[in-house]
Amino acid sequence: MRILGLVWALAIAACFTEPNQASLWGSDQASLSVTAQGATLQILASGDCYGSYGEITQPIGFGSFTLPGRYTQLMGVAPGYVRYPAEFSGSIVRGLMTLSVSIPTLQQNLGPFHLTLGEGRTWPPCLYP
């Protein structure tokens, strides 16, 4: 009976990963690298590079969340980027995350991105002439 209980506990634990533990989440459009302090979202541009990214400045919790952060748009003129305040909202359910980014200064919303735990990858930043 103890073995059955242990197997059950491990099966449940496999379905849930503490979001604020170091982990990668991803899709073919975006990749989210999570740490205990926050997260960095790379948004794929054309090709195999990212043209913008977001930084969540607080830990991500279970369930639904709305967190402050920054959105950085890369560009080819000095200093090479522009940063804006942003709000990241979404939810996490059994290894799947839905994430949207609101950038009020630009009156723009990105996403929703549908990210899967363990599918994250990293791309280099796009090089602009």
Q: Which domain holds residue 42?
A: 18-117
**Would 60 be classed as within a structural domain?**
yes
Is position 122 within any domain? no
Of 123 and 5, more confident: 123
Q: Is residue 128 one of the residues assigned to a domain?
A: no
Q: What is the pLDDT of residue 98?
A: 96
- CA-CA distance, 94 to 57, in Å (whole number)? 23
In a domain, 37, yes or no: yes
To the nearest whole number, what is the mean pLDDT of the chain? Answer: 82
Evaluate whether residue 74 is within a structural domain.
Answer: yes
Q: Is residue 72 part of a domain?
A: yes
* Alpha-carbon separation of residue 88 from 14, 66, 77, 103 (angstroms): 26, 6, 27, 9
- Residue 108 vs residues 8, 71, 80: alpha-carbon distances, Å: 44, 11, 20
The total domain count for the chain is: 1
Residue 112 located in a structural domain: yes
This prediction's pTM = 0.79
Mean pLDDT (whole number) for 52-58: 93
Mean pLDDT of all residues in 18-29 = 78
Instruction: Answer whether residue 95 is part of any domain.
Output: yes
pLDDT higher than threshold 50 for residue 85: yes
